[in-house]
Amino acid sequence: MSRTGKRISSSFACRVIADRDSGLKTRVYAAGFDSSRNIFLGEKATKWQVENNELDGLTTNGVLIMHPNGTFCDKSGNEFARPGIWREVSVGGCIFSLRESRSAAIQGSPIHNEDNILQDGTLIDLCGATLIWRSAEGLSYSPTYKQLEQCIDNLNAGRPQCPVGLHTLVVPRKNSKNTKPEAQPFVYLNCGHVQGRHNWGNLNDNNGSKTCPICLCPSSVAQLTMGTEPAFKILGLYTDCLPPEFCFVPCGHMASERTVKYWASVPIPCGTSGFETACPFCAVPLARSKGYVKLIFQDKCD
């Protein structure tokens, strides 16, 4: 997930090391090796001496990690993943609470009962990009493109209708390039009603708001698109394999209920000391009041 705005993450921001001799445990460490195979830390980076006269330190803007509470993608579907607490990892792999600001000179308090071992769903923030770590076992429970396409086919088989244009809507599998304009679904972000493109109920305000013809609720409108990851056959940002019946607000990316509710509760580091929730598919900041809405299709109206 790349954050909007200027990126300041370093090419030497972190190291991820897999120990294949101890149960495939994988750990993350701050800072990386430069071309001379030396640990690279900036001049302003925080450093201190530890045991055996060795040095530990933090990168200038910090490497933050957040382990999920519970199983990120549960096989049984009975356990809800919840966001954990953001921590900072040092060059030596020690865990600290966050500094007062991202580049403050004094490190946070040491957290002795937590470690830098990556778990399925651990987030790694490099101050400019946020990465997610998925385990092989966790990915085996995640939905595939084929499963997602089947969910979309089942949704389209219900022949959802636009109540204004009275034509059938088609939820596209990947993008809307091959979908006729009148069949492209749009969602009213306050109420969740899904309709086609039309000019009924325009409020002529700066936000392009309309009045929903179903419930008469004033609302902004967004084009519905599937939440997908084009580079991967497995959808690693999903927390379950359930149908995409919700969408993020305000971008309109569709995903399952648990997936949407999980990411809408994850505070992503932003700026020197701020946090904001964001869509995992496009990194657009979510609405502060409510970052998602349940989709309401008008099925089988013909």
Quick: pLDDT tens for 192-202.
999 998 877 67
Is the CB of residue 221 less than 8 Å from the CB of residue 239? no
Most confident of the following: 35-44, 50-59, 208-217, 287-296: 287-296
Q: In the 8-state DSSP scheme, what is residue 53?
A: G
State the sign of the Cα–Cα–Cα–Cα dihedral 160, 162, 167, 171.
Answer: negative
Is the CB of residue 262 less than 8 Å from the CB of residue 81? yes
Q: Give 208-217 pLDDT, tens digit per residue.
A: 688 998 999 9
Dihedrals phi, psi of 53, to nearest 5 degrees:
60, 20
Q: How distant is the alpha carbon of residue 101 from its chain centre?
A: 23
Burial class (CB in 10 A: 0-12, 13-18, 19+), 153: exposed
Q: How far is CA 120 from CA 81, 108, 124, 139, 278, in A?
A: 11, 25, 12, 9, 20
Write down the pLDDT at residue 176. 55
Query: How far is it, in rounded angstroms, from Cα 234 to Cα 230?
Result: 10
Is the CB of residue 268 less than 8 Å from the CB of residue 278? yes
Instruction: Reply yes or no on whether the pLDDT at 51 is more than 60.
Output: yes
What is the pairing mode between strands 194-195 and 122-125? unpaired
Closest CA to 299 of 201, 181, 161: 161
Write down the pLDDT at residue 77. 67
Q: 20-44 burial string, b = 16+ CB within 10 Å, else e?
A: eeeeeebebbbbbeeeeeebbbeee
User: Alpha helices of 67-218 — where are they, by DSSP H?
Assistant: 136-140, 145-157
Is the CB of residue 87 less than 8 Å from the CB of residue 64? yes
DSSP, collapsed to helix, strand or coil, labels residue 183 as helix
Domain boundaries, the chain: 1-137, 142-302
**pTM for this predicted structure:** 0.89
DSSP, collapsed to helix, strand or coil, labels residue 137 as helix
Query: How far is it, in rounded angstroms, from Cα 58 to Cα 270?
Result: 18
Q: Give 218-252 pLDDT, tens digit per residue.
A: 999 999 999 987 666 778 999 999 999 999 999 99
Most confident of the following: 4-8, 13-17, 181-185: 13-17
